[in-house]
Structure 1
Amino acid sequence: MWKQAIEDAVAKTQRNMSVHGMTFPHIDNDQRYAWGENNDWIEGFYTGMLWLCYRYTGDDAFKKAAMEQGSDYRRRLDNDIALEHHDIGFLYMPSAFAQWRLTGDESAKRLALDAADKLLGRWRPKGNYIQAWGPAGDEKNGGRIIIDCLMNLPLLYWASETTGEAKYKDIACIHAEQSLRYLVRGDDSSYHTFYFDQESGIPVGGGTHQGYHDGSTWTRGQAWGVYGFALSYRYTRDPRFLEASRRLARYFIAHLPKDHVAYWDFDAPIEAGTPRDSSASAITACGLLELIEHLEEGDAERAYFQEHARRMMESLVKHYATIGDETAEGLIRHGSYSVRTGNAPDSYMIWGDYYYLEALMRMEQGFAGFWYESE
C-alpha cells in the first residue's frame, strides 16, 4: 500500500514540475493549486517534496528542479521578501537544508545558516519568546506566539550543532519551554496562540487565530505540537518535551472520528459539511512516527502510537488520496486552511501533501524528511 501511494505521489509531483516549472503552489478554494511566486510561508513544502522524490527515485530531474528553486530562496532571504514571520524553518529546512543534506552543497548549508540568523532576529528577550508574526512592536502581534513555531525550531537546533554557537539552541529551548508552559493546557489540549505584554513580558492569555474559538483545540495546531515537541526532544533530550508530545498525541487520538482523519477543530460542531483537515492527520502521523523513535521497546504506549499512525495513514491512502486521478494536482483531498475566515476550508494543502509523503516514506523506508541531519 505505501509503495503504491508513494509512486502515485512521485508521478503527480513530476507532472506538476513539468507543467508549472519554477512556479510554486499556493492555496486555492477550487480543489486545485494557484501557481505563482515564492512569496508566502508555504513554498518550502513543495521544494521539500521535490527533494523527497529525488531521495526516493534518484531521478536527477527532481534534483535539478529543486536546486533551481534553491536560488530563489537565496534571493528571497537577501531581499527580505515576505519574511516578517516565524516560518523560516518551514521555508528553509525542506529547501536549503535538504539540498545540503542530500547533495553536500556548501552554498545551501550557508543559506540555511543565514536563515537561522533571520529566525533568531525574531527573539524577544523581554518575554523570552520568538514572535510569530509582524515586526517588533507590532500593535496586534508583537506579543504573540503560536504553536506552529515548534516546527521551526529545528533550524535553530541544527544551527547550534553546526556552528558550535549555543545561542541558537538556547533560544530554541527557551521558546519550547514557554510553549509547553503557556500553549499546552492541563487536559492535554492546546491553544493556537498565546499573548505576552510586549513591554513587561508578563503573560496575558491564550487565544486563537485559526480555531473555532479561543478555548477550542484547532486540530492542526495540536498536530504541530505532537510533532514539534518530539523534535525538540530529539535535539535536547529534555524529557519534558517527550512527555508533552505524548500528552498531545493521546488527546489527538482520543478525539478523532471513526475514520481517523480529523475535523478542523476538535470543538467545532460536527454537522453535515463540517470541514475536515486531512493535513492535521498527516502531520500527526509523522509526529507519532517521530515520537515512537524515542520510546523504549517495552514502553506500553509505543505499540498504541504505532497502530494509530498506521490507521491514520491507511485512511488517508484509501479515502482521501487522489491515487488514480490523473487530473489532480494535490495528493490528499479535504484539507482546510482557515475555516474561521472562509479561506480554503476544503481543498488541497501543500503542507498536507508534504507530510503525507513524508509519512509514507517513514512507513516504507524509515526516511523521516528534513527536520534533522542524520537518518
Structure 2
Amino acid sequence: MYRICITTIVTLVLFVALSCKNTSAKQSISEMISIDSLLQNRYEKLLGYPVDSLSIPRSYNPITKEIKVVESKDWTSGFYPGNLWQLYKLTGKEAFKNKAVEWTAFIEKEKYNGGTHDMGFKIYSSFGEGFEITKNEHYKDVIVESANTLITRFKENVGSLRSWDFNADIWEFPVIIDNMMNLELLFEATRISGDSIYHNIAVKHANTTLKNHFREDNSSYHVVVYDTVSGGVKSKVTHQGFNDNSAWARGQAWGIYGFTMCYRYTQDPKYLEQAEQSAAFYLQHAKLPEDGIPYWDFDDPKIPNAVKDVSAASIVASALVELFMYTNNDAYLDYSNKVLNSLKSEEYIIPIDIEAPFILKHSTGNWPKNDEMDGPIVYGDFYFLELMLRIKE
C-alpha cells in the first residue's frame, strides 16, 4: 500500500510538471521546425542562383537590396563554390554537388595569378573542398599548381609571403594576419604531392607571424610592414580595424583559426600555445556580447551601438571546435555551440522573402571604407557551414 501511494504521488508530480512545461515545449519544437525550414529555404537560394563566371556572389546590401558580385580574381571568389560543396556534405543532395562543380571550374584560372596572396581563400575553399569529396585528380593538380604560384610571393630574408601589392610606396612589404589562412593550401600541397617545399615555407611564414604580429595581451595587429633589405619590421598598422592599436574582431579570428590549423599540420606546441592565448583574449574580453557574436572591433567606442560581425564569430567558432579536439577545453566547445545556437535563429538568418544567395546577416566587411556593412557576406556563410559540419562530425 505504501509503495502504491509513493508511485501515485510521483506520477502526479511528473504529470503536473509536464503539464506546466507543455506549452513552452510546444513553442520550442515549433521554433526549431521554423528555423530548420528557414535554413532549408536559404540553402535553396544558393542552389537557384544563376551560374555566371563573371557574377560570383560576394555580399548583399540590405539597404539597396543589391547583390555584390565579383570575378574569380577577387579574394572571396572561392567561398561560393565552397558553400555549395559543404551544403552537399550537409544535405547529401546531388544538386548542390553538381552546382559546386560548375562554380568551382570558374576559379581554376586563378592558379596562375601570382599577383595575390589569397590563393588559399580562392583555391582551397573551392578546389580543396571539391577534392576532399571527389578525389578528382585534376583538382589535386590545381591545388599543387596554385601552391607553386603562391610561393613566388615568399621572400627569404623577411621569412614571409607578401600580402598586398597596392600601397607599395607606403608599405614596402606588407603581411596581414589574414594570410595565415592561406597556409592551409601550402600544407595540403605537400601532403598530396610529397614535396616539402610548400610545408617549409608555410612554417617560416607562421614563425615570422608568431614573432611579430601579436601584442602582449595576445591581440593581433592587422598589418606588419617589413624592410625588404634587412628583413626587419618597419611598422605595425591597420587597414580594416578601428585604429592601429585596436583589436579588429576578424583579425583575431584569422589568428585563432590560422595557428590552430598550423598545429594540425606540424604538431608544434608553440602554435597550439598561440592559438590558445589568442582564444583567451577573445573569449574573456569584457566587450564580447552574451550571444557570442562580437562587435566588428573590440575597441570601437560606439559599443554597444556598434555593428557586429557574424563572419568573425563563425570563423572563431569553427576554429574552436578543432582546438577543443587538441585540448579538451570545454570552454572552446561551449563557445562554438553558443554561436551555432545564436546564428540558428531569426535574429541572424536572412528572412525567407529576400532573394539573395546567402544564409546569414550581420557580417561586417570593411568598416573604415563603409563597405559591406552589417549584411550577408559569403565567407560568413562558409565558416558557419563548416562550423555545423565540424560539430556534426
TM-score by length of 1: 0.89
1:16-35: CA deviation from partner (whole Å, max 9, x where unpaired): 33232233112344365323
CA contact (8 A) 1:42 1:90 kept: yes
Q: Which residue matches 2:62?
A: 30
Match of 1:292 among 321, 324, 328: 324
Structure 1 residue 272 displacement after superposition: 6.2
Tell me, in whole angstroms, the C-alpha distance in 2 between the residues paired with 1:70 and 1:205: 38
The residue aligned with 1:19 is 49
Within the alignment, does 1:76 sit opposite 2:101 as a pair?
A: no
Indicate the residue corresponding to 2:382 in structure 1: 354
Partner of 1:337: 365
- 1:173, CA displacement in angstroms? 0.5
The answer to whether the aligner puts 1:156 opposite 2:175 as a matched pair is no
| 2:144 paired residue number | 113
The equivalent position to 1:93 in structure 2, one of 124, 130, 133, is: 124
Q: State the secondary structure of the residue aligned to 1:294.
A: helix
C-alpha distance in 1, partners of 2:336/2:34? 18
Larger mean Cα displacement after TM superposition, 326-335 or 210-219:
326-335
Aligned partners of 1:3 and 1:357: how far apart in 2? 19
- How well do the aligned residues superpose, as a CA RMSD in angstroms? 2.2
- 2:383 maps to a residue whose letter is Y
State how far apart, in whole Å, the 1-side matches of 2:355 and 2:158 are.
45
Report if the CA contact (8 A) 1:2-1:360 is conserved: no
**Aligned CA distance change for structure 1 residues 324 and 138 (closer, same or farther; 3 Å):** closer
Work out whether residues 46 and 84 of structure 2, in 8 Å CA contact, stay in contact via their aligned partners in 1.
no
1:305 Cα offset (Å)? 1.4
Deviation digits for residues 320-364 of structure 1 (CA, Å, limit 9, x no counterpart): 43265242532221110011111122111110011111112222x
Query: What fraction of aligned residue pairs are identical, expressed as a percent?
Result: 31
User: Would the alpha carbon gap of residues 103 and 36 (structure 1) be closer, same or farther in structure 2, given more than 3 Å must change?
Assistant: same
Q: Is the 8 A contact 1:133 1:142 kept in 2?
A: no
Q: Does residue 315 of the first structure (1) align with residue 346 of the second (2)?
A: no
Which residue in the other structure is 2:314 paired with?
282
Residue-by-residue CA offset, 1:172-215 (whole Å, 9 max, x unaligned): 01111111111111111111111111222111231111001101
User: CA distance change for structure 1 residues 138 and 304 in 2, over 3 Å: closer, same or farther?
Assistant: same
Task: Please give the secondary structure, in 2, of the residue aligned with 1:161.
Answer: helix
Instruction: Give yes or no for the alignment of 1:262 onto 2:276.
Output: no
Higher relative contact order (CA 8 A, sep 6+): 1
User: 5+ unaligned residues in a row in structure 1: which ranges?
Assistant: 367-375
* CA positional deviation for 1:318: 2.4
Do the aligned partners of 1:131 and 1:142 also contact (CA within 8 Å) in 2? no
Aligned to 2:24: none
Q: Please report how far the alpha carbon of residue 317 of structure 1 lies from its aligned counterpart in structure 2 after TM superposition.
A: 1.9
Match of 2:331 in 1: 304
Say which one has the larger Rg.
2
Partner of 1:371: none
Structure 2 gap segments, 5+ residues each: 1-30
Question: Quick one: which of 223, 239, 242 aligns to 2:272?
Answer: 242
Distance 1:133 1:122 in 2: 10
2:169 alignment partner, one of 139, 144, 164: 139
Alignment of 1:170-209 (within 5 A): 170-209=200-239
1:241-297 superposed Cα distances (whole Å, 9 cap, x missing partner): 0011101111111121222110011111134641111111111101111111111x4
Write the distance in 1 (CA, Å) between the matches of 2:195 and 2:148.
12
Q: Distance in 1 between matches of 2:259 and 2:34?
A: 31
Scaled by the length of structure 2, the TM-score of the pair is 0.85
Structure-2 separation of matches of 1:219 and 1:98: 26
Deviation at 1:36, TM superposition (A): 4.4
SS at match of 2:362: coil
